[in-house]
Structure 1
């Protein structure tokens, strides 16, 4: 794994250190005293924090074997580096403690800002698939949710609201078939759906990814296989033209919205605080649902969303 020769020395050093015996020790001299690492869910500030977080979210080999780095925007400020795997395709993102997806998926660009001494002052992750123009801001608590009718994986239309009432609460989750975050949280989310089935709570899970922009695993055939295998506790819907994702301002997988009986957003965010901790059991979602079913506002109506970017058609 080698950074392009045209990249600044500190940037090359950061990438090349991935194969060092002690990556953190190799990277420390490259960092400015107030360096910032912007990687969800929260930024890290200072060399110690940056090195600690980077070792967790970008461990050695995190992008797989035989990765090549390129400068897609020569001369850009900040410096943009993009990783590609064998054959020129996009690479895996490996999340510690989670299985590697069986097919390549879009990774992210790494943006490096340097200080006046040439040391790294900021590292930022940016999705390869940028959000298209015209995408609404994400719905926030208090917003009315736009209605929709989407087909499930077998083509049966499923509306957001069933009849004249949406029931006491509706959970809408934008997800997919390959993102390690979606896979990591999947079982927890299905258990929440099963635990609330007798309360009349509707769970609608939506795949808005364009398979041509991401991976064939997001095609409808794979979605049907997962449904047939009993992996979903509720309808799995296909947002083929991505109009629902755009109107809801969804950007990530998984991204969770909880609506009250009136169809107003009561919660927007992540299932829980850590995809790598199954014992959390989607507690943020569970707490939000408990509040809505009790007729009150959630204590935490909005949390940071952590996941892969939706793979947009354009």
Structure 2
């Protein structure tokens, strides 16, 4: 069953963390921000919702960079139950799709839990003051990429945020596979 994140908590301020990236370096999440904002997306390698749109995610990241918006992806999935999401497989996934942004591993799941991440993909769009202004979908794609020419919800929302500092009042939540949490034993 698909998971759906909650509506945008406008103004929410994220907690920073340093996580290892597939490039062999440690990255501060918030240091990835551009002068006009930041998108943080929780993804994983195996989710059919992510796989269906990963090339669109890469393109949006490139387009947002031109607007001064940074981009970073984080995987918080439990790799014991889902070994296809391992750090080594993250490296292969990022290379295969030509990620122009850091892909970070949240091994202890503290970031995913602390941010309230729910599904893959789960997008968090921040303005230049690092205030949450978007918690919606990439576009109308689901387990299969939608038709070309779909409204680019994430891109349009971030463009509005760059121009006004505020996200759209109406947002359609993302949908995807639930994040695979470790047992809390």
In the other structure, the counterpart of 2:47 is 179
Q: What TM-score, normalized by structure 2, do the two folds share?
A: 0.86
Question: Following the alignment from structure 1 to structure 2, what is the Cα–Cα distance between the partners of residues 218 and 280?
Answer: 30
Gapped regions of structure 2 (runs ≥ 5): none
In the other structure, the counterpart of 2:25 is 156
Secondary structure of 1:312 counterpart: coil
| Residue 148 of structure 1, CA deviation | 1.7
- The 5-angstrom pairing of residues 75-224 of structure 1 reads 108=1, 140-162=9-31, 167-213=35-81, 215-224=82-91
- Note closer, same or farther for the CA distance 1:139–1:156 as it changes in structure 2 (3 Å cut): farther
Question: Following the alignment from structure 2 to structure 1, what is the Cα–Cα distance between the partners of residues 170 and 16?
Answer: 21
**Are positions 1:284 and 2:114 aligned together?**
no
| Residue 281 of structure 1, CA deviation | 5.0
- Note closer, same or farther for the CA distance 1:198–1:304 as it changes in structure 2 (3 Å cut): closer
- Note closer, same or farther for the CA distance 1:189–1:313 as it changes in structure 2 (3 Å cut): same
Q: What TM-score, normalized by structure 1, do the two folds share?
A: 0.53
**Are positions 1:271 and 2:138 aligned together?**
yes
**Are positions 1:310 and 2:179 aligned together?**
yes
CA RMSD of aligned residues (A): 2.3
| Residue 166 of structure 1, CA deviation | 5.0
- Note closer, same or farther for the CA distance 1:259–1:171 as it changes in structure 2 (3 Å cut): same
Of structures 1 and 2, the larger Rg is shown by: 1
Per residue, is there more strand in 1 or in 2? 1
Greater relative contact order structure (CA < 8 Å, 6+ sep): 2
Cα contact 2:8–2:133 (8 A) shared by 1 = no
